[in-house]
Chains A and B, each alone.
Chain A
Amino acid sequence: MIFKLAILNIKRNKKRSFLSALSIFFAAIIIILAWGWIDGMLQNLIDTTIDFQTGTIKIASESFLKQEKFLPIEFYIENKSDFIEKLQNKLSNDYPKVNFEYEERLNIAGIASKGELSIPALINSISTEKELTKYQIKRRKIEGNPEIGNKKIIIGKDLAKKLNLKTGESILLVTKTYISGLNGIKATVSSIVDFGIGSFNKSIILMDINDVKQLAKLNENSFVQLLLFFDIKYVDDILKSINNLLVNSFPETDLKAVPFNVSMGQIYGTMQMMRKVLIIVFAFILFLASFIIINTMMMNIFERINELGTLMAMGTTKKEIFLLNFYEGTIIGILGGIPGSIFGYLIAFIMNKIGFDFSKLLGGYSMLMNYIIRPSASLAIFFVSLFISCIIPAIATIIPSKYASKLLPTEALRHL
C-alpha cells in the first residue's frame, strides 16, 4: 500500500522525478567512465610491464635480480634445455588446466653505430613468434618486412631516424660480452616500427635470441632470465611449485622465482591502493549527486505537508510516513542508477573496443605504457557502480524521510 502510494507520488510530478533520476543517471555514467579510464590506464601499465619486463613469474639468478637495472649478462645459467624440461614437466603435472607460455629474455645495453654516428640502444631478444606479436609489429610497422633471425633486426622509429637508417641497411651493434669484453656484429634492418611506447621507439632493437647470445658471446644453451606467462589468479600457487622445484632440483644454483607484483615493487602496491581509493572517491561523487534527491524530497515534503498531516490524522504511523518518502527517493535513485550504469557500461565497452591513441601526448614520455589506452569495461565495475548508484540515493533519502516522519499531525494540518 505504502509502496504503491510512493509510485503514485513519483508519477504525480513526472518532470521533477525525471530530473532527479537524471542526475543519478549521469552520476552513474560518470562513475563508470571515469573508473574505466583510470582502471584502463593502470591496467595498461601493469599489462605492458608484465609483457615486456616481468612476465607473470620471472626466473633468474639472485645476483642478476639484484643488479637487474644494469642489465648484467654475466649471471647466466647453464643447461637451459634441462631446466626448462624439468620446469615444464613439473608445472604441467601440478597444473594441467593452466596454459603456460615460456619466453627466454636477454636484454642488453649496447651501441648502434652507422658510420661516425654511435647511439646507445637497448637490444631486446625475441625467443618465440608469440613474443613478437606482443609488440604488434605487423600492425605498427612503418616500413619493411618485420623479420628477425640471421642477424636481421627490427628497430624503433626514433632510433632509426637518429641513425638515418632505412630498411635493408646494415648497422654495427656493439655490446659488453659476458666476460667483460666488447663485441660487435653487423645486423641488417628488416623493419622500422612504431612500438606504441615512447621509450621503445627511442632505443629498442629487436633481435633473435641466438643472435643476441652471439653478440654477448653467450652459449646458446644458457639463459639469463626466463619469463612465464599464465593467468595471474594462479600466481601464488605456481610460485610455490616453482620454488619447490628450485630447492629440490637446482640447489647448486642461486635461481629465484619472482612474481610480477614483487618485480613491479612499490608501483604495484600504489596502483592497488589507488583502485581502492577510487571506490571511495566515486561513492562520494554519487553522494553529491544524491543531494538532488534530498532536495527534491524536501521540496516534496514541504509541498505535500498538508497531505502528510491528513495521512497522519487518518492513523498512518510515523514508520509508514518514513517508508513512503524512503521508497519514493530510492525508486527515483534506482530509476536513474540502473539505466545510468547500463548506459555507462555500454559506452565504456565501445570505448574499450575502439581504444584511444595518445601517441602525441605520451610520445615524449619514457613511461612503459602503450599509446593505445582502452578504458576498462569489466562487469565488476558495472556491478559496483550499480550497487553504489542504488544504495547511496537510498541512504541519502533517509534524511528527508526522517524529517517527514518527525512531523506532528497538528503542525502539518496547520498548512491547510
Chain B
Amino acid sequence: MNKFKKSKEIKKIKKIHFMLFFIAFIIFIFLSFQNEEDILKKLDENVTFESIHYTGTLEIIRNNNKIIKTFECWAKNDLFLIIFKNPEDNGVKYLKKDGNLYVYFPSADDVLTISKSMMKQGFMGSDISNEDITRNRKLLDDYSIVSFNKIIEKDNIFYELTLQAKTKDVPYFMQKLIINSDFVAIKTEQYDLAKRLVKTIIVDEIKKFGSRYYPVKVTIQDGIKTSYKTIFSITDVSFNIPIDPKIFTIQNLYNK
C-alpha cells in the first residue's frame, strides 16, 4: 500500500518537474524572442522622431555617370516636405500628407498626385523608391523574425536578423539586416516575393545625436544592375525642432 503511495507521489513530482521545465522553456523562448524584438524596437527608436530638418544630397550613379541632387527636408510625424535646390531640379517639391505623395513642378506651377502604380518608381530617378520614402511603419508591424544570430567580431557585437513579411502589402517580402551594437542597421538586403535581391542598403557613416545614433550617409545599390547606386547623405541635421504644420499643405507647395 505504502509502495503504491510512494510511486504515486514520485509520479506527481515528475509531473510537476516536467511542468516547471516546460514553463521555463516557454519563458526562455519568449524571452529570447523578446530580446530580438527589443533589438528591432531599439532600431526603430533610433530612426523615429517627432520632427527632423536636414539638408540632403543624392548622388545617383549610373555606370560611369554621376548626377548630384541637393535638397532640404522637413518632417514631422507622418508628414514631410522636400524642396530640391540643385539648378536642374530647383523648386521641385515633394509633399507627403495623409499617406499621399504630391509633387510640385515650378515649370508647370502644378501638382501631381503620385498614384499607387507610380510608388515603385525611383524618387527623382534614384534607387530609392517613392514607396521607400513614404513608408513610415515600424518593422515589427509588418515583419516577423524568422532567424536571429548574434555575431561577435573583434569585440563588436552584431545581430543578424532575417525578417519575413506578415502581409503582402509591403514593398519587400524579405529583409536581411545586420544591426550593430548601437542598434543601427548597417547593412540591409531587401528581397522580393521570389526571394530575388532587389536592393542592398549599406550605412557608410553614423553620427550620434544626443542618445540617438542616426545614419547620415547611406549607399543604396540596385540588386540587379550592380553599376547603379545612389549615395544618400544628410548634413545640418536637427531633431525634434518646432516646425510650422502649415508648411505641409498643398497650398504651400505653390508658394515660391
- Give A contacts to B, CB under 8 Å: 74, 111, 113, 116, 118, 120, 172-174, 176-177, 179-186, 217
Residues of A within 8 A of B233 (CB): none
* CB interface residues, B 32-83, toward A, < 8 Å: 60, 62, 65, 67, 69
Contact B105 A174, beta carbon cutoff 8 Å: yes
Given A172-B108, A180-B62, A181-B69, A116 contacting B92 (CB threshold 8 A) = no
Given A172-B110, A172-B112, A183 contacting B69 (CB threshold 8 A) = no
Residues of B within 8 A of A177 (CB): 88-89, 125
Contact A183 B105, beta carbon cutoff 8 Å: yes
Closest to B94 in A: A182
Contact B124 A182, beta carbon cutoff 8 Å: yes
CB of B167 within 8 Å of the partner chain: no
Given A118-B118, A184-B107, A176 contacting B125 (CB threshold 8 A) = yes
CB of B255 within 8 Å of the partner chain: no
Measured between alpha carbons, how far is A176 from B118 in the docked complex, in Å?
A: 12
Contact A186 B108, beta carbon cutoff 8 Å: yes
CB of B113 within 8 Å of the partner chain: yes
Given A120-B117, A172-B110, A172-B112, A182 contacting B67 (CB threshold 8 A) = no
CB of B181 within 8 Å of the partner chain: no
Measured between alpha carbons, how far is A181 from B109 in the docked complex, in Å?
A: 16
CB of B2 within 8 Å of the partner chain: no
CB of B103 within 8 Å of the partner chain: yes
Residues of B within 8 A of A179 (CB): 67, 88-89, 125
Measured between alpha carbons, how far is A180 from B69 in the docked complex, in Å?
A: 10
Measured between alpha carbons, how far is A177 from B122 in the docked complex, in Å?
A: 13
Central interface residue in A111, A116, A118, A182, by most chain B CB within 10 Å = A182
Closest 9 CB pairs of A and B: A180-B125, A184-B105, A184-B108, A181-B89, A172-B110, A186-B108, A118-B115, A185-B108, A179-B88
A45 CB to nearest B CB, Å:
30
* One of A172, A173, A180, A182 near B92 (C-beta < 8 A): A182
Measured between alpha carbons, how far is A295 from B6 in the docked complex, in Å?
A: 113
Residues of A within 8 A of B118 (CB): 111, 118
Measured between alpha carbons, how far is A177 from B67 in the docked complex, in Å?
A: 12
- Give B contacts to A, CB under 8 Å: 60, 62, 65, 67, 69, 84, 88-89, 92, 103, 105, 107-110, 112-115, 117-118, 122, 124-126
* One of A118, A180, A185, A186 near B113 (C-beta < 8 A): A118
B72 CB to nearest A CB, Å:
16
Central interface residue in A113, A172, A174, A184, by most chain B CB within 10 Å = A184
Residues of A within 8 A of B113 (CB): 113, 116, 118
Closest to B109 in A: A186
Closest to B126 in A: A180
Q: List 11 A-B contacts (CB under 8 A).
A: A118-B114, A118-B115, A172-B108, A172-B110, A172-B112, A177-B125, A180-B60, A181-B89, A181-B125, A183-B107, A185-B105
Measured between alpha carbons, how far is A74 from B125 in the docked complex, in Å?
A: 12
Measured between alpha carbons, how far is A183 from B124 in the docked complex, in Å?
A: 10
A46 CB to nearest B CB, Å:
33
Measured between alpha carbons, how far is A113 from B125 in the docked complex, in Å?
A: 19
B58 CB to nearest A CB, Å:
9
Given A172-B105, A174-B105, A181 contacting B110 (CB threshold 8 A) = no
A340 CB to nearest B CB, Å:
56
Measured between alpha carbons, how far is A79 from B155 in the docked complex, in Å?
A: 60
Contact A113 B92, beta carbon cutoff 8 Å: no
Given A181-B88, A182-B103, A111 contacting B112 (CB threshold 8 A) = yes
Measured between alpha carbons, how far is A341 from B49 in the docked complex, in Å?
A: 84
Measured between alpha carbons, how far is A12 from B100 in the docked complex, in Å?
A: 90
A197 CB to nearest B CB, Å:
23
Closest to B115 in A: A118
Residues of A within 8 A of B122 (CB): 180
Given A111-B112, A186-B110, A180 contacting B124 (CB threshold 8 A) = yes
* One of B88, B89, B109, B112 near A118 (C-beta < 8 A): B112
Residues of A within 8 A of B112 (CB): 111, 113, 118, 172, 174, 184
Closest to B63 in A: A63
Measured between alpha carbons, how far is A118 from B60 in the docked complex, in Å?
A: 26
Given A111-B118, A118-B113, A172-B110, A182 contacting B105 (CB threshold 8 A) = yes
Closest to A176 in B: B125
Residues of A within 8 A of B67 (CB): 179-180
A204 CB to nearest B CB, Å:
19
Closest to A215 in B: B107
Closest to A214 in B: B107
